[in-house]
């Protein structure tokens, strides 16, 4: 089977097709890894990669290893035709869209990338095994696409920090760059899971970004301490019924303990009806 070529966009379904298309690229290569259902946030990643690199590879793969038994792997949105339109519009050169059997020909891999202690807190505490699955597929895709730079959104901030650590600790020879979260005009962080929200739930979900903004303003604008920043953000969420808070934490930029002053990160996860959402924002502690 040969890769499909649409205008200047090559769609590779197999490792062999990807290898052939990748060998034809000269100059610097950026990769954007997604699970499909592309939106404006993914488009921003592609645009950033396109501006900085000679060529861009997009991967589209819903990775079963990072879904728990009760999570939404089967109903995760799959919109491949629309994904190709966005990839072409943003100047991608290759889309690698393998099947599960192509990525894991032997079934469940016996060797996984262990995320370490950071993979067991926050998202890792709620979703055991999630980061081992995510890091394993990212590591495989880095080897297959061989980029100079890989671009990841800051919305999945813990994942970004762990991928940076993996690239550094395992000497993967690729630069990992974070790209700021893209939001709707009303502040809601773009996510493929937003489509699960009813109109009423979507309105409730706005409390997450609002709480983060209030926390950030409490630090930079009002000079609050770390405890004051958290208290300000938590009070906003407490005023909205129907939002079940999982965690709200203030950390340093590498997800260690919050500093007493300087750059920090405020992260939140909550369930709005049946949909679990995450968000985060940089904070400056005076």
Active site residues: 42
Burial letters 182-209, b for 16+ CB under 10 A, else e: beeeeebbbbbebebbeeebbebbbbbb
249 φ/ψ sector (left φ>0, alpha ψ -120 to 50, else beta): beta
Phi and psi angles of residue 215, each rounded to the nearest 5 degrees, phi first: -60, -45
The span from the CA of 190 to the CA of 206, in Å, is 11
Neighbouring-strand partners of residue 267: 249, 280
Q: Which residues pair with 6 in a beta bridge?
A: 9
How far CA 203 is from CA of 26, 189, 207, in Å, comes to 47, 13, 8
Chain centre to alpha carbon of residue 85 = 21
CA distance 233 to 218: 9
């Amino acid at each position: 089977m040969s890769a499909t070529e649409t205008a200047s966009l090559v769609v590779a379904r197999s490792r062999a097709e990807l290898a052939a298309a990748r060998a034809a690229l000269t100059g610097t290569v950026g990769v954007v890894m997604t699970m499909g259902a592309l939106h404006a946030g993914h488009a921003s990643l592609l645009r950033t990669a396109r501006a900085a690199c000679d060529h861009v590879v997009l991967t589209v793969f819903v990775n079963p290893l990072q879904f728990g038994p009760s999570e939404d792997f089967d109903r995760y949105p799959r919109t491949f035709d629309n994904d190709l339109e966005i990839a072409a519009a943003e100047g991608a050169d290759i889309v690698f869209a393998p099947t599960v059997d192509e990525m894991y020909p032997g079934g469940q891999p016996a060797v996984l990338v262990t995320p370490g202690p950071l993979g067991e807190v926050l998202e890792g505490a709620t979703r055991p095994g999630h980061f081992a699955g995510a890091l394993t597929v990212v590591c495989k895709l880095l080897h297959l696409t061989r980029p100079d730079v890989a671009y990841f959104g800051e919305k999945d901030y813990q994942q970004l920090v762990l991928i940076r650590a993996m690239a550094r600790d395992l000497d993967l020879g690729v630069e990992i760059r974070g790209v700021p979260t893209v939001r709707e005009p009303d502040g809601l962080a773009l996510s493929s899971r937003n489509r699960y929200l009813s109109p009423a739930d979507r309105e409730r979900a706005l409390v997450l970004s609002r709480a983060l903004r209030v926390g950030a303003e409490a630090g930079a604008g009002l000079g609050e301490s770390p405890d004051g920043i958290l208290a300000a953000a938590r009070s906003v969420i407490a005023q909205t019924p129907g939002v079940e808070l999982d965690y709200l934490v203030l950390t340093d930029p590498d997800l260690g303990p919050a500093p007493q002053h300087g750059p920090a990160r405020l992260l939140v996860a909550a369930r709005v009806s049946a949909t679990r959402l995450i968000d985060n924002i940089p904070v400056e502690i005076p």
